Amino acid sequence: MATSATAEFQVTNWKEDSLLEAGGGPRVTRASVTMAFEGDLEGDGAVEWLMSYDNGSTARFVGMERVVGKVGDRSGTFVLQHIGAFDGETATAELLVVPGTGTGELEGLSGEGTFEAGMGAGGRRKLTLEYDL
């Protein structure tokens, strides 16, 4: 039976570099981002996102995030796979716990969830995870 976890987070560092550009056309960037989580999931995340921007301000992205901390009352690390989109105001993603990545008391962790990150100071930043241990 899956357990539900929710957390709010703050982005603590964002570094984005262009990888591929096509003279005014679509571009591909890489963002190295760190986050701090509070709630049922508590700890720190470090993610590498590859993003493809259209000619405007929207994008699609994929990424891998290593989380170090606690889920509920269990400590350890695990990796989340992100597949998402940015509509110019909010980034949303589907998350999957990468099988076999749980360590410590999180060994055997499995699950999936969602990620929402609004831009700006007032943007809502929330992660939900349905998981089994």
Domain count, the chain: 1
Chain segment 3-43, per-residue pLDDT in tens: 999 999 999 999 999 998 777 678 899 999 999 999 999 99
For residue 95, give the CATH number of its domain. Answer: 2.40.350.10
Type of residue found at 84: G
The pLDDT score that the predictor gives to residue 20 is 85
pTM across the whole model: 0.93
How far is it between the farthest Cα atoms of the chain? 51
